[in-house]
Structure 1
Amino acid sequence: METVYEAAGGSEFFVKLAAAWHARVVADEVVGHAFRHGVHPEHTQRLAAYWSEALGGPQLYSGVYGDESSVVRMHSGNGPHTDMDRRAIDCFDQALADVGPLDARLHGVLHDYFAWTTSNSMARYEHSADDVPAGLLIPAWSWDGLETR
């Protein structure tokens, strides 16, 4: 069975999706404030590499940029932000439409992945980035959801 990464179209698809999502969140009145301090110049490429790896593609993120701990630290220590998370998920769904059309199953698994990682991995250490343990692995997501390692 092909991976979610393969079904989506590989790295080219995830670069387009990351660019579409980034444009949407920067423009969003709630989520946009998280990006107003500036972002890494390769933010879209790095995000695409992260999503690609998490969804069954090659180790494009962990092989070049860092591990899950580094990603989670970037998103930690900001207190609870459930409204911002919900808006980020809405922007992701809109970005999926921007790069679509996608079949219902692929759309659903991509939505579920993003909603899960936004509400779990990226929201787990709301009090301090110092609480994030070293050596976390990028969670793997398949057609059936989160895979155990």
Structure 2
Amino acid sequence: MEEKLNKPVPTLFEWAGGREAFEKLFTTFYRKVADDEMLSQVFKNMSPKHATHVAHFVSEVFGGPELYSKNDSGSHATMVGHHISKNLSDVQRKRWIALLLETADEVGLPDDPEFRSSFVGYLEWGSRIAVINSNIAENPVKADEPMPAWGWGETKGPYQG
């Protein structure tokens, strides 16, 4: 029993299954998005590498390796910049989350309450910020600001736009 207590708590990235799990999730998800009546128009011009970039971003946010910031030459400002002036609606945001959660079940992402609470918390937080940023004309995030970091159930303070 003592050995179990001394094990470090895994990151969300590790618990989910690592890089493969996130790449499978977002590849499957964005295939569905392309066929979704509400979301397909929003993503009609997405790069063939879009799913991989999003998988790398979320992986990094969830405590994984710096795949987005190093391999993809991205940053938090880069990700926010992709949403500027897209005029996303809350209805689209809710559909995006619903489809992503459906896909998470489909591909076998962990469904324990602790992981899902953190996962859904991040999706809610991040997607609401994406909607806010999609309705402004200039990126509020400076190029040198760090990537977000998300863990087990931690909440962040109020959004400072």
Whether the TM-score (by the shorter chain) exceeds 0.5 is yes
Partner of 1:114: 123
Residue 24 of structure 1, CA deviation: 2.3
- Contact 2:21/2:109, CA 8 A, preserved across alignment: no
Equivalent of residue 55 in structure 2, options 43, 48, 55:
48
Aligned residues with identical type, % of pairs: 27
Max radius of gyration: which structure?
2
8 A Cα contact 2:77 2:142, kept in partner: yes
Matched, 1:64 2:35: no
In structure 2, distance between residues paired with 1:74 and 1:49 = 15
Structure 1 position 60, deviation (Å): 0.6
Is 1:17 matched up with 2:25? yes
TM-score (ref. length: structure 1): 0.87
What is the alpha-carbon root mean square deviation over aligned residues? Answer: 1.9
Question: What runs of 5+ residues in structure 1 fail to find an aligned partner?
Answer: none
Query: Residue 25 of structure 1: CA displacement?
Result: 1.9
SS in 1 for 2:80: helix
Write the distance in 2 (CA, Å) between the matches of 1:69 and 1:128: 14
Name which of 108, 111, 116 aligns with 1:100. 108
Deviation at 1:100, TM superposition (A): 1.4
Shift of 1:101: 5.6
Query: Alpha-carbon deviation of 1:138?
Result: 2.1
Normalising by structure 2, report the TM-score.
Answer: 0.81
Aligned-residue offset at 1:69: 0.8
Task: Give the residue type in structure 1 aligned to 2:89.
Answer: H
Write the deviation string for residues 59-110 of structure 1: whole angstroms up to 9, x where unpaired. Answer: 1101122111111111121235100000001011111111116223222321
Letter in 1 for 2:115: L
- Displacement of 1:26 in angstroms is 1.9
Secondary structure of the corresponding residue to residue 41 of structure 2: helix
Stretches of structure 2 that go unaligned for 5 or more consecutive residues are 1-8
Say whether residues 1:134 and 2:142 are aligned partners: yes
**Matched residue count:** 146
